[in-house]
Structure 1
Amino acid sequence: MTKLMQDAGPSPKSLQRVSSVGLGIVERQKRQGLKGPPKSITLPPPPIIRFDSGTPKDTNPTASTAFPNPRRILPLPSPSYVGDQPAFTKHDIVSPFIPCESAPPSLTPPPLDDTAIPVISLSPSFPAQPLRRMPNLTELPMLGDVDDDHFDDHGSLSVPPLMAEPVMMREQQSLLSPAIQHYDETTLTGKTIWKFRINRLLGVGAFSKVYLATSEEEPDKKKSAIKMIGKSKMLKDPRMKSSVEREVAVLQFLQHPGIIQLEATMEIEQHMCLVLEYVDGGELFDFVQQQGMLDLAGNVDEIMVKDLFLQLATAVQWMHEQNVVHRDLKLENILLYRDNGTLKLKLSDFGLARVIDPDQPLLTTRCGSEEYVAPEIVQGLGYDGRLTDTWALGVILFSMLAGYLPFSARTGASLSQLFYQIMQACVRWPKDQVISDHAKQVVESLLQRQPDKRIALVDVPSLPWFQ
């Protein structure tokens, strides 16, 4: 049983921000910056994967799929939006040229001037189609990990085979030459890419930058978040490439109000651009750190915590029903907004997400963020991603209630000491806050050291705390 202990000393001074970098790597970072080189879990060498330069070719993809009429959209990864958030590890995709008889009126290219950056190719948004079931790994092997025996890389940087239908629009030939205008990524503010005017930098990650942009074609100047990833970085990292393609293929089936959505993808000379739904409330991490979970009297607002967590657990449970596991659930990957005054959340960053076989769910690729990983991952055992997601939800709920992470290496402590804490599943509650026993019971039911003893997410709402 999970050990729940009362802290004999003061609470930790601050919540620590953590980030996952790439596939199979976990890294720890403090809120005020890195101290020393990042620590990682050693992985076997990545497989050699051949791919081309990523430039769209004037050929029509012939890949077949068992899924007719795929959604006419490229779903995208979901970054966080705070300036120093380092976890933008997801990457977009080079859109191949697929002939189309006529382009929608909205694809009219912007006038060529000294502020317009030429677009090589783009995938505009389309109305969402009725939800279809998630394909399994036999039908679409690239929905698994690179390390899987069944994984099938299809070569060049391109749209996954599932997406191969005539919806990718290439701009007019006059826009294809990068010689029309070179651009400096440090001076993107004020520039226009397709219909989007870049307003300001939102955040910088290890592999990308995220900008706030407004649509010049919509009367209300709708805001979007444009995530820009250098194409050269994608071409150098096969794991990054496979992560991008898997994320795109997974997200096209995840249409849920609690999950960030794609609006469009664009390719320019040096970057791939992902146009994301803009969520203006920031990360749950910052909300917790800034004591947003406290009421006016300085006590934990359990009603607010309960409502937000139930939203999160419901979204994750629904995702699991689609046979998708996230594998990087953490405070930084949960974005907040208000809907008619009610605080809501959306789950983001699906770069480590994948499809599982419910009949053989055990996975072996070690990935995630150190402070959120489950004991079975620390031990290097095969794990069920649904149960490791459940553990991560327990870490998140504890942090929302206590204001700090339950498992966190102290200054100067080794990574092995952090992993020892996780293996003991021993959490220390703050003495300066009153937290109900019913709330602690929910945390205890999620942070069970033995995976098969963790509560099923479908049963969470029936616990006394939610009654």
Structure 2
Amino acid sequence: MATVPIIKCTSNERLSGTRLMNEKEDEKPEKKLTVLESHGYALGKTIGAGSYATVKIAKSDRHECQVAVKIVSKFQAPGEYLTKFLPREIEVVKGLKHPHLIRFLQAIETTHRVYIIMEYAQNGSLLDVIRHDTYIDEQRSRKWFRQLLEAIDYCHDHGIVHRDIKCENLLMDYHFNVKLSDFGFARGQMKPKNGEWPLSTTYCGSYAYASPEILRGIPYQPQLSDVWSMGVVLYAMVYGRLPFDDTNHVQLLKQVQNKVVFHKHPRVSRSCRSLITRILVPQSARLHISNIKNDTWLETSVVAQTSISGRFVVRVNRYR
């Protein structure tokens, strides 16, 4: 019977062989990058969540800053949203560039999800500020309403209507300047044709901010509907509450068809209340953007109040 030769190894060879085997055992397959990682984004914490979309913070190597990533699930989102509203949103925001609009950076689509990369607003939303401060003083309200006005004026000039203006969609950047976000219900190509303004029949947005014509379900001019929502935002800032708030559709419609009610506290100037009353009115009588831009309340800023013989003297500065 043949014998198998035994080859003896030196101690160094045995050690070397052991090390080679260990090295092979330690070798692991390289981790496959996610879609976002391959584009230079490292996901962080969640800052917002809905029924079919989540918003997360991400670190961007490309932009060298933090960004916001809206992640839309194709399995959970309604079909109409995926085929109509989402493509429209991406197309609209691509062409927008304004200091008071959240900047669109990139859109990435996979089999299961759509990722929308946007500018990140560090200081939350206007709603967060109102909840923290109870209500917003007129000086800050004037500044933020003017910034919203400029953003919407820019959009309308470019034939774009937002159709979902509300405190939750007004974000605050590092310096507490307004950034209008969420163009999920926006629509482009809404400039007048042959002197006629195109009407909208998509009844979208949030109930408490919706104009009477939307609640009634009749064709409406979306630019004026945006103006109505801006009036609701202004009221919410200075009073810390919504002017119309009812989960019942019928009751809410009754409220918006009546004159807006002003509360005794907090004290709000007559000029501010006057502006609100001329915005929260039927479509035919509602102020246009051009009228609001020249309103007295927006032109003046209260600097100080001093009491002289029991009477208040108000000094004002004119904005130029």
Which residue of the partner structure matches residue 247 of structure 1?
89
**Alignment correspondent of 2:260:** 427
Task: Give 1:437 shift.
Answer: 0.3
Matched, 1:400 2:225: no
Partner residue of 1:464 out of 289, 293, 296? 296
- CA gap of 1:194–1:406, structure 2 versus 1, over 3 A, is same
Determine if contact 1:293/1:305 at 8 Å carries over to the other structure.
no
Instruction: Please state whether the residue corresponding to 2:99 is helix, strand or coil.
Output: coil
CA distance in 2, matches of 1:324, 1:250: 8
More displaced, 197-206 or 388-397? 197-206
Shift of 1:226: 1.2
Tell me: CA distance 1:304–1:357, structure 2 relative to 1, closer, same or farther (3 Å).
Answer: closer
Tell me if structure 1 keeps the 8 A contact 2:48–2:54: yes
Q: Equivalent of 2:186, from 339, 353, 374?
A: 353
Structure 2 portions without partners, runs of 5+: 1-28, 300-320
Would you say 1:224 and 2:74 are equivalent positions?
Answer: no
Which residue is equivalent to 2:8?
none
The answer for the alignment partner of 1:363 in structure 2 is 200
Distance across 2 between alignment mates of 1:392 and 1:250? 20
Listed one character per residue, the Cα deviations across residues 119-142 of structure 1 (whole Å, up to 9, x for unaligned) are: 6xxxxxxxxxxxxxxxxxxxxxxx
Which runs of structure 2 are paired with 1:1-400 in the superposition (5 Å)? Answer: 113-114=30-31, 116-118=33-35, 192-216=37-61, 221-233=64-76, 237-268=79-110, 270-291=112-133, 293-294=135-136, 301-339=137-175, 343-355=176-188, 356-358=190-192, 359-400=196-237
Q: SS of the residue aligned with 1:263?
A: strand
User: Equivalents in 2 of 1:390, 1:322: separation in Å?
Assistant: 16
Contact 2:134 2:240 in 1 (8 A): no
Is the deviation greater in 315-324 or in 267-276? 267-276
Ranges of 4+ aligned residues in structure 1 off by more than 4 Å: none
Task: Give deviations 1:20-62, integer Å, cap 9, x for gaps.
Answer: xxxxxxxxxxxxxxxxxxxxxxxxxxxxxxxxxxxxxxxxxxx
After superposition, the C-alpha distances for 1:264-286 in whole angstroms (9 at most, x for unaligned) are 22234532211111111111111
Q: CA deviation at 1:293?
A: 4.4
Alignment check: 8 A CA contact 2:121 2:174 kept: no
Q: Whose helix fraction is larger, Structure 1's or Structure 2's? A: 2
Query: How many Å separate the matches in 2 of 1:118 and 1:336?
Result: 29
Q: Distance in 2 between matches of 1:217 and 1:255?
A: 19
Q: Which digits, 9 at most, give the CA deviation of each residue in 1:215-263, with x for residues without a partner?
A: 2456xx51011111123345x6034321111112222222111111111
Displacement of 1:306 in angstroms is 0.5
**Cα distance in 1 between the residues matched to 2:140 and 2:293:** 15
Counterparts of 1:313 and 1:415, CA distance in 2: 28
Question: How far, CA to CA, are the matches of 1:381 and 1:209 in structure 2?
Answer: 32
CA drift of 1:292 comes to: 6.3
| TM-score normalized by the length of structure 1 | 0.54
How many residue pairs are counted as aligned between the two chains? Answer: 267
Deviation readout 1:297-332 (Å, 9 max, x if unpaired): xxxx21111111011011111211111111111111
Larger Rg: 2
| Equivalence map 1:414-453=2 (5 Å) | 414-424=248-258, 426-449=259-282, 451-453=283-285
Other structure's SS at 2:173 match: strand
- Structure 1 letter corresponding to 2:171: L
Contact 1:211–1:227 (CA<8 Å) still a contact in 2? yes
Q: Structure 1 residues 436 and 277 mapped into 2: Cα distance closer, same or farther (>3 Å)?
A: same
SS of 2:71's equivalent?
Answer: strand
Higher relative contact order (CA 8 A, sep 6+): 1
Aligned to 1:71: none
Letter in 1 for 2:70: K
TM-score (norm 2): 0.78
RMSD: 2.0
Cα distance in structure 1, aligned partners of 2:281 and 2:80: 35
SS at match of 2:174: strand
Aligned mates of 2:254, 2:66 — CA distance in 1: 45
